[in-house]
Every structure is written in C-alpha cells, then in structure tokens.
Amino acid sequence: MPTINMLQAINQAVDIAMAEDDNVLCFGEDVGGFGGVFRATSHLQEKYGKARCFNTPLVEQGIIGFANGLAAQGSVPVAEIQFADYIFPAFDQIVNETAKFRFRSGDLFNVGGMTIRTPYGGGISGGLYHSQSPEAYFAHTPGLKIVVPRNPYEAKGLLLAAIRDPDPVLFFEPKRLYRASTGDVPEGDYQLPIGEAEVIKEGADVTVLGWGAQMEVIERAVEMAEKEGISCEVIDLRTILPWDEDTVVESVLKTGRLVITHEAPRTGGFAGEIAATIQERCFLYLESPIRRVTGLDTPFPLILEKEYLPDHLKIYEAITASLHY
C-alpha cells in the first residue's frame, strides 16, 4: 500500500465516488481549478469537468441550500465549507432543512445523499476564525451524522462511507493533520463503518477517549503514563452522532475510569454528553470521577494557542489523577 497523507486520502475518496457515480458533485469555495484552500480537491475539475466539480460564491448558506436542493432531486452533493468556523451562516440550512427534510415529508423526500466536508480545529496558528471545533453544536440535531477521522486510512474509508450513506453526514477533517498525518492507505475502494468506535489499544487501568486530531495527542500521553506502569485503553470515537455508547461502556466497566478529551471548549462540549451517559450506565463501576480535558471557555486565541489546546501533558495529568483519586 502506498504511504500518503490525509489530504491525498480525502482526494482519493472523492475521486472514487465521482468515478463510480455520475450523480456525485463536488463544489464549494475555490474547490475547482484551485483545488480548495488546502488542495483537497486538486485535479478533480480537470478529470470530471466544471459541471461536476465547481466553485460557488462565498456564501455558506447558499452552498448548503444548493446542496439540499440537489440532494432532494437525486444528486449526491459533496459540499465543502472552507473552514468549520464558516459553517455558522449555514446553520439554519443544516439543522432546519438538511436534518429535517425526510422527517417533515413523511419520507416522501430526503436529502440523505449529501455530505458536508469541512476542516476543523487548531494547530495551524489560524486564530479565532480558523481554529474552532463546532461538532457539539450539530450533535444536538437529530437527523444528522457527524464523523471525524484521525488519520489518512480512516479519512478515506469513512469519507467513502459518508458519501454513500443514506443520511446526511457532516465530515469534520482535522486540518493540522492534513499533511502531518501519513500512513499506508489502499489505492482501491473500501469503507469503514459509521457509528462504530474503535478500540485502538487495550488496557486495564483507565479508558482514554477522543476523536480526530486528539488521538495523536492521546497517544503521546499514554506513552508517558505507561512509563509509570499505568495501563490505558484507548478508544477513537470516530462518529460523534450517532456515538457508540456500547463500546465505551464495555471499556469503562473493565477499567472503572474514563478520561475524555476534545479541542472544543469545555462547557457544552460533547465530552459532557459522554460523561453523563457513562455515569448513568456505569455508576457502580466507576473508581473515580470522569475527567474532561478540553479547550478553554474562551474564544480561540492566536498567541496563546498552545496554552489553549488540550495537549499530552494535560491528558497525562488527568490520567494519573484519575488513577490516584
């Protein structure tokens, strides 16, 4: 298998989907000849023409409204929002139209074929308008699926699954890993399951849970903890909505401890939902309080980005504090 980065894996996934089905359309701001601001859609317009891969005006509400209309008529839109921070003008379209279209029509119509790709998160010195992690806003919306890959292999397999999924999918891509994360990825077509977490590493003392770019950070924290004799079980949630409760519960019933980490601010972050569910289902098995290692409850800073982000040292401290509670 060739070694490629996450951007190349995403490009391959969209390429395979477009080659397989003429109804798949790729559009967004500068995605055509320019290949997108990160070059995730490079050469797709050359290969499939301007009718299937094209630029849109700089209007996010219009991009998603257009995607809803296309999907309702049988097309399979893969719409790009250039940065997840820019998704908020399209919030109404996503939560009030995309998510509800099938329900409100009694299944006469649906927009299930649409996928919304968008880069999220910090780590690129992007400041407060290019670094946010807004997944929790959409996790409150029945009718959507939310997927976050951690590496190139996961990105390709999950994106192909998202494009073919019968429900609308928000696909959040960790932008700081676009070129930093590389790995062996099959050249051909494959899919990974949406809605299933993956136990990356088995352990006995504490469960450490995250998604997307935080999985790399977790790995470094776990290496530190293991030098202290702490056995960590590591889980990549992969899908925020619907999230895989059973896999996390099974792990916590074994370890008795849970540390959850995400880049988004602490208050209202998705870690809170996970913690509430796990304490309901595992209360008598918990050996210590569930701990959250998250971003801060402030706008995302530029100069103090490293202080804001939940790094491996903060996660390591949470692991050791959980064990010695």
154 counts as catalytic? no
Q: Which of 29, 60, 135, 233 is catalytic?
A: 60
Please check whether residue 1 is in contact with residue 184, taking contact to mean a CB–CB distance below 8 angstroms: yes
Cα distance between residue 313 and residue 181, in whole Å:
21
Cα distance between residue 206 and residue 325, in whole Å:
12
Cα distance between residue 212 and residue 124, in whole Å:
15
Phi-psi region of 148 (alpha: psi -120 to 50; beta: other; left: phi over 0): beta
Helix axes 270-282, 245-255, angle to 10 degrees: 60
Closest CA to 132 of 168, 182, 82, 193: 82
Cα distance between residue 253 and residue 175, in whole Å:
34
Cα distance between residue 115 and residue 113, in whole Å:
7
Strand segments (E) across 31-176? 53-55, 76-80, 115-120, 145-147, 169-174
Cα distance between residue 8 and residue 10, in whole Å:
5
60 counts as catalytic? yes
Residue holding tokens 């950070």? 217
Closest CA to 41 of 86, 81, 3: 81
303 burial class (0-12, 13-18, 19+ CB within 10 angstroms)?
exposed
Q: Which of 29, 80, 97, 130 is catalytic?
A: 130
Cα distance between residue 130 and residue 123, in whole Å:
10
Which pair of tokens denotes residue 88?
């908020």
Which pair of tokens denotes residue 236?
């990549």
Task: Give the residue numbers annotated as catalytic, written as ranges.
Answer: 60, 130
